Structure 1
């Protein structure tokens, strides 16, 4: 998928935040991917998933970032930083 078709990283991060909020602060990344695909009309394939994961990981690395992987780096379960809900 050409890069110019993919949504801007800031939009992706905001959609991730909204999706996590709707899910109670924590969910599997496939839920977020489906939501972003629905919003954009793009296929929920590897290109969009890679773009979404890169946006999530960039935010998670920031000291004041809003996201964190629930079970450490590489986890497919994501949450809003500071969420203490048990899975």
Structure 2
């Protein structure tokens, strides 16, 4: 196992992927897709609803687990199961 290799990036949405107006800049979208292309899955971790997190992950083509509703829901988009 390569200890120095990044295996997953977990990010919140509000204030991390978005600015204070809840806008997501094109550079953020580009960076997320670049990580996925480099086989580094990106995981959405949020207190928001599962459906909101799912739609964001789906729109960006993210393959990391979705953790939503303050940890109440964990979903694997690759295996398509909770």
Structure with a larger share of its residues in helix: 1
Structure with a larger share of its residues in strand: 2
- Structure number with greater CO (CA < 8 Å, separation at least 6) is 1
Global fold match (TM > 0.5): no
